[in-house]
A and B are shown apart, each in its own frame.
Chain A
């Protein structure tokens, strides 16, 4: 399942219900900067004139976000954690061509 990657539970609540946090391993994070490609840019610019959902950009951001989460999980795994709690996301548009997606949370050991 998607929510357990490499045996690490990822949640955005402060505690994991039914489990006890035994050790705090610090803040972990992962980020990606994604640029769109030219072909996509042109088709999406045409869509943009008409308004509505920009499907390709939705897909792009979804992909990059799961990559950011993957990096965060790898960071947590390197510290020997088995869960990440209180996960937050931040997005910033660096220029008009690229977006930075950032995921961060607290790596913990739970039992």
Chain B
């Protein structure tokens, strides 16, 4: 529904801007006849104002035309891409656990460390992840019936495990031995009350990296 109304808006904007542009062009033609050297400054100003709008409208037209294809593409491949991504994260997780000798992330506060700590600092990572519109359609149907919505849970779980893995990799990069007091935050990109806008979730993980003394 949103996108249909968008398309209508786009078309009206495009029409209006074309009209305005033609008016400007014809005015230019009329004015240029008597004095050839100096077209009035107003035309430049108006042209500069109209041009971005035309580009913007064109972009929306392209978006409207591409939407069905992208939707189909998402319907066919989004599930498979998600699975591939989850499998890749599992492999990376194994590699980093091998590097640290254990899972470096914990929600402990550090009293279990026997040898003392040499240095510490903040580590954080974030990822923005979106379900495809096909999935949102399925969710909409699910909402009619009620019950649990597995498909969104899968997306968010994948995003969360990826954020945790990014945190491990960053800790590895910065040379920490362990990450303490890890917190995982979830935020929506678009408030639930807004009609338009990207339907995506941002996962943010942070913790304190420590180096054993």
Where the two chains meet, the residues of A that have a C-beta atom closer than 8 Å to any C-beta of B are 1-4, 9-14, 16-18, 38, 42, 44-54, 57-58, 61-62, 65, 69, 87-97, 99
Contacts and interface: CB of A to CB of B under 8 A. Distances in A.
Interface centre among B129, B198, B206, B213 (most CB of A within 10 A): B198
Contact of B70 (A12, A38, A49, A99): A49
Interface residues of B, number: 62
Interface string B116-142: 111011111011111111110000000
Interface of B is mostly: mixed
B74 A51 contact: yes
A96 B174 CA distance: 34
Contacts, number: 154
Contact of B190 (A2, A87, A93): A93
Q: Secondary structure at chain A's binding surface: helix, strand, loop or mixed?
A: mixed
B200 to A, nearest CB: 6
Interface of B: 56, 59, 63, 66-67, 70-71, 73-74, 77-78, 81-82, 85, 109-110, 113, 116-118, 120-124, 126-135, 155, 159, 162, 174, 180-181, 183, 185, 187-191, 194, 196-200, 202, 204, 206-210, 213
Contacts of A1: 121, 174
Contact of A52 (B109, B120, B130, B199): B130
A47 B113 CA distance: 44
Contact of B210 (A17, A47, A48): A17
